[in-house]
Amino acid sequence: MNKAYGWKRRILRIDLSKGRIDRFVPEAALLKNYLGGRGLGAKIVYDNGRVNALSPNNLLVFAVGPLTGTTTPASGRVSLSTKSPLTGTIFDSNCGGSFGPELKKAGYDAIIISGKSPEPVFIEIKDERVELKPAGMLWGKNVKETTNILKGRSSVVCIGRAGEKLVPLASVISDGVHAFGRGGVGAVMGSKNLKAVVVKGTGGVEIFDRNEFSKQKEAINRLLIACPTISKGLSVFGTPFLVKITSWMKILPVANFRKGEPEPDFDLREFFAKTIAGKYSPRKKACYSCSIACKREDKEGKELPEYETIGLMGANIQNPDYDAVVEANRLCNDYGLDTISVAGVLGCYSEIRDKGISHTELTNLTRKIGEKEGIGERLGRGAKAFAESEGCPEKAIQVKGLSLPSYDPRGVKGLGFSYATSNRGGCHTRAYLVAPEILRKPKAIDPYTLAGKAGHTKIFQDRFAAVDSLVVCKFAFFGAGEEEYANILSAVTGENYTSEDLMLVGERIWNVERLYNVREGFCKGDDILPERFFEEKVNERVIDKEEFLNTLDEYYRMRGWDDEGVPKGGKLKRLGI
């Protein structure tokens, strides 16, 4: 393979226990077969063996892809892989901002961080210069203050007080607002006494065929402009444009996924994108090399919440106050907390009390979770652990310990099936069937049936495993597809990639992640939704459990796994695992 193009072919390795810093050249086949990002991280974390999530032996792997640092549309993301202290599964999370491009321009495809520093430290990287620096003066500070202190040095990823206190819902925040959001990755960083990583790169990324690259880049940009979901939805309103769509489809969760609609005095229009635009006059905020610009901030430059946060901190906890969601979202970002998981456990808490959560209570409980204080300590363990501690595990709306996002699976059954089979737990982004079932992209499929969803789920899971390894924003795939990104990948790297090659890479990654979870004791019984969705009708919809289990068997067969969901030797051999 061409060694000089796309990839930097260097990985930075840092052992915090020993204070040791070195670099190595990964095997060419590792990059070709796993690309970068999620795939590279999954292989490294899998090869590390069995570990306790909060032990020094667990790894944090920040990884970029071969397109990162180029001007490929929507390629400014970076992936973080580890073992989750919340779910016990293999875990990856990715976010936008500038950290990924800076890491690539500094000359690295990944950073592997192991061990635990005796004292709080932060890592500073400027091209060849890599140093561990004391972070005692930063310990105890939240994200915004930490970022403001360090941002003059360039791009900053850090944890807030939640990560320091090892809260299982803690996230890692990039450049103050972009979240490696789920699975407690911030607690892993805190367990290592690592406060922040700061990166400044002054290099570039070599491109094999610049003329072909420009041609393919223009083709992708044309497709993004031509896609109404992007040009008239995300680019105009950001992700909150989904609130009106999901409420119209009656899949916006209400009262911890128990009701079809909010109470009559709950004005859902307060959460619609047009209302928000009229009240806040939001400004666009884009990630590196992205024309979509889906993030929003107010006139003072403060972040506004995205769809998942709005849906789950609004109707699902019976809070009618959008301003409270704004405040809670900012608190989560500052403490370094996953908004979906915080909202998920608060939905459970609200149901147990049979009472909605007010503005004041929402912000107070969010602070308590971040501080690991009072009831916040138990809430901060996540919905599954909290509900079990209350003696009512059925009230936790989660899969494999991860709270569900803001789509009721009774009305988007393929998406619900993808929650259940997700390798990292209840997550909409693993297969992202939001695209075909809700937004009808790249083509519409019936959201109200499980028929054909085993195949759809497998295809989309493999697809987005590859996308997460490039590392490209999923929103770009509303307009472009594997063929366009395979073409531009070929132009960048000099390697001939087809859309089929990308899908094979995605399937390989999915199977490595599955092997990790099987080794950790996960089995067929974990690939299931909460019983609520099989037993309780909402909007006259329910999921037939027998049909669901039959679909699961079909899915295993399509994946080449045995009846218990364990990958077979023949499948692994064909994938080169």
- Residue 152 has what pLDDT? 84
Looking at residue 153, what is its pLDDT? Answer: 73
The stretches in the chain having pLDDT less than 70 are 1-3
Distance, first Cα to last Cα, the chain: 19
Residue labelled with tokens 């999923």? 474
Q: How many CA atoms lie within 13 A of 292 on its CB side?
A: 29
Among the four given CATH numbers 3.40.1280.10, 3.60.9.10, 3.40.190.10, 3.40.50.720, the one describing domain 11-200: 3.60.9.10
Q: Among 94, 17, 56, 51, which residue's Cα sits nearest to residue 467?
A: 94
pLDDT in tens, 312-354: 999 999 999 999 999 999 999 999 999 999 999 999 999 999 9
The residue extents of the domains of the chain are 11-200
Nearest C-alpha neighbor of 403 from the set 282, 530, 505: 530
The DSSP letter of residue 577 is -
- Which pLDDT belongs to residue 495? 95
**Are 491 and 497 a contacting pair, CB within 8 Å?**
no
DSSP 568: P
pLDDT at 4: 76
| CA–CA distances in Å: residue 316 to residues 128, 171, 232, 407, 452 | 48, 22, 27, 10, 30
pLDDT value of residue 177: 95
